[in-house]
Amino acid sequence: MAWDFSTEPEWQEKLDWVQRFCDDEVEPLGHIFPHAARLPDPKVRELVRSLQQQVKDQGLWALFLDEELGGPGLGQLKLALLNEILGRYPAAPQLFGAAAPDTGNIEMLAAYGTEEQKERWMVPLLNQEMFSAYSMTEPQGGSDPNLFTTSAMRDGDEWVINGEKWFTSAGRVADILFVMCTNGMFVVPRETPGVEIMPEPRTHNHIKYTDVRVPLDHLLGPEDGAKVLAQKRLGGGRIHHAMRTIAQCKLAFDMMCERALSRESHGNIIAEHQMVQQKIAESYASINMLRLYVLETAWKIDNTSTQETRTDIAAVKFTMARVLREVSFNALHIHGALGTTDLTPLQAMYAAAPTMGIADGVDEVHTATVARRVLKGYTPHEGYWPTEYLPAKREQAWAKFEPKFAADPELRKTAEGWRGYFEKRSRT
């Protein structure tokens, strides 16, 4: 029976190294140089490269890529265990070559790009010599591709793109934009004439594409294949978000427990108050349920495919946002006034929870998707009564036992006694 909750000793050694590396190197770097991997300062860049080289020496660079796409092919389960550590440190994903939105864009290039496209864009993205953004959502249609209007028209040896995109995360600082149009996915250099990045929002940018011209070879994958590419990109992105969310929940939980043992109220440490204990106990259970579900989903992907695991990926997606919201709120509340400030990570975590419920598709859509897909495995019952209607089940059981009763009258007599009991009970 293959059912195991242990981690291979060799991989546990890698995880232990990652934990030490993040504690000793990554966390201090993030406090001194936020967004260090993107800073142009040569001294900072040299420091970042030296840390990234240590990661590469451990064979831990860009682990999200499957083997058939040119990566190490370690699988989603090992990646989940790794991301449980990396997600605690804002600077860690880029130092491990595993930061969104580049990861999803690299996966699309690896799966659908030509050799020339991979050389031109994927290799520099992997080496962090350039950065990218994913331009999908539209102001009038949200993330529903059926409502998109941004399109690319062919004009000679160029595509001409027109439309608007909304919430293109990190678009302002990207070198290339992956633009989802009604008739394909296109790679657009940010400096292309006609690309206008609006002043607001600052982080998740509003971009207007007005007569933006790109060469024909900037179409990624097949024409009219944008939805297929988007699902390839977003499916992996959702489970990876969930992996990192576990780390954030654990951080909030650690802070919650530490604070509960450190503060007094009404003559006792607050850990002795039952309402605080309830928050700790419920948070503990929620985190562990989410973690096990994420790990099981990662295991399913490794043993089947992202496509075949769509139901669980969608369920994980809306579950992670809820758990992050609940746990971060509990931790914030136990910290009192301090929790409402920006002096701890808690306020940012709690503020991020609604974003997690919207990014990569709103939770309501994923909830409906899960329900629809689950219901496909069921059929309606016949007649008025459900399959588990007890009087009917008893009659079916009686018919099945009839040969035994015929062979053993005493057994029938005992059974008739019980049938009388049920009939009498139903009349009272």
Give pLDDT, residue 359: 81
**For the residues 126-154, what does the mean pLDDT come to?**
93
Indicate the average pLDDT of the chain: 93
Higher-scoring residue by pLDDT: 232, 263:
263
Residue 1 pLDDT grade (very low, low, confident, very high; cuts 50, 70, 90): low
Q: Report CA Rg, the chain.
A: 27
Of 83, 91, 134, 86, the C-alpha closest to 361 is 134
Residues 183 and 186: their CA atoms lie apart, in Å, by: 9
**For the residues 26-48, what does the mean pLDDT come to?**
95
- The amino acid present at 154, given as its one-letter code, is R
Going by C-beta distance under 8 Å and a sequence separation of 6 or more, which residues neighbour residue 372?
none
**For the residues 273-284, what does the mean pLDDT come to?**
97
**For the residues 176-201, what does the mean pLDDT come to?**
97
Residue 160 clears pLDDT 90, i.e. is over it: yes
Pairing of strands 176-181, 132-135: parallel
Of 121, 318, 365, 344, the C-alpha closest to 219 is 121
Give pLDDT, residue 234: 66
- The amino acid present at 269, given as its one-letter code, is I
What are the residue ranges of helices labelled H in 304-408?
310-334, 346-356, 363-375, 390-407
Residues 408 and 316: their CA atoms lie apart, in Å, by: 53
Of 314, 321, 305, the C-alpha closest to 373 is 314
Q: Residue 215: which H helix or E strand, with range?
A: strand 204-215
Q: Which CATH architecture has domain 227-375?
A: Up-down Bundle (1.20)
Residues 340 and 279: their CA atoms lie apart, in Å, by: 17
**For the residues 71-87, what does the mean pLDDT come to?**
90
Q: Are 222 and 185 in contact (CB under 8 A)?
A: no
Residue 135 clears pLDDT 90, i.e. is over it: yes
Residues 184 and 79: their CA atoms lie apart, in Å, by: 30
pLDDT tens for 206-252 read 999 999 999 999 999 999 888 888 876 766 678 888 999 999 999 99
Name the burial class of residue 272, with classes exposed (0-12), middle (13-18) and buried (19+) by CB atoms within 10 angstroms of its CB. middle
Residue 428 clears pLDDT 80, i.e. is over it: no
Residues 246 and 249: their CA atoms lie apart, in Å, by: 5
Q: Are 27 and 89 in contact (CB under 8 A)?
A: yes
Give pLDDT, residue 126: 93
Residue 269 clears pLDDT 70, i.e. is over it: yes
Output the six-digit token pair for 328.
């971060």
Of 366, 362, 246, 363, the C-alpha closest to 311 is 366
CA dist 90 → 45, 85, 86, 100 (Å):
17, 11, 8, 12
CA dist 385 → 125, 147, 392, 428 (Å):
59, 42, 9, 21
Residue 384 clears pLDDT 90, i.e. is over it: yes
CA dist 133 → 70, 223, 352 (Å):
21, 20, 19
Give pLDDT, residue 235: 60
Residue 128 clears pLDDT 90, i.e. is over it: yes
CA dist 188 → 108, 176, 218, 302 (Å):
15, 6, 7, 33
Min mean pLDDT across 35-44, 152-161, 230-239, 312-321 is at 230-239
Output the six-digit token pair for 182.
């009604």
Q: Which CATH architecture has domain 9-113?
A: Orthogonal Bundle (1.10)
Residues 317 and 322: their CA atoms lie apart, in Å, by: 9
pLDDT tens for 281-319 read 999 999 999 999 999 999 999 999 888 999 999 999 999
Residues 164 and 207: their CA atoms lie apart, in Å, by: 6
Residue 71 clears pLDDT 90, i.e. is over it: no
Q: Could you state, in order of their start, the residue ranges of all structural domains in the chain?
A: 9-113, 132-220, 227-375, 390-427
pTM comes to 0.89
Angle at 96 between CA 93 and CA 99, to 5 degrees: 35
CATH T-level assignment (fold) for domain 132-220: Butyryl-CoA Dehydrogenase, subunit A; domain 2 (2.40.110)
Residue 324 clears pLDDT 80, i.e. is over it: yes
pLDDT tens for 93-123 read 999 998 888 988 998 999 899 999 999 999 9
Phi, psi of 238 (to 5 degrees): -65, -45
3-state secondary structure of 179: strand
CA quadruple 371, 373, 377, 378: dihedral sign: positive
For residue 200, count other CB atoms closer than 10 A to its CB. Answer: 8
Give pLDDT, residue 64: 85
Long-range contacts of 8-13 (CB under 8 A, 24+ apart): 11/78, 11/81
CA quadruple 241, 244, 250, 252: dihedral sign: negative
Q: Taking each helix axis as running N to C, give the angle between helix 226-260 and helix 274-303, from 0 to 180 degrees, rounded to the nearest 10.
A: 150
Residue 125 clears pLDDT 80, i.e. is over it: yes
What are the residue ranges of helices labelled H in 90-176?
92-95, 102-112, 115-117, 123-126
Residue 144 pLDDT grade (very low, low, confident, very high; cuts 50, 70, 90): confident
Give pLDDT, residue 210: 98
Could you give the percent of the chain with pLDDT greater than 90? 81
**For the residues 265-291, what does the mean pLDDT come to?**
96
pLDDT tens for 14-36 read 999 999 999 999 999 999 999 99
pLDDT tens for 337-376 read 999 999 999 999 999 999 888 887 789 989 999 999 999 9
Min mean pLDDT across 6-10, 42-46, 144-148 is at 144-148
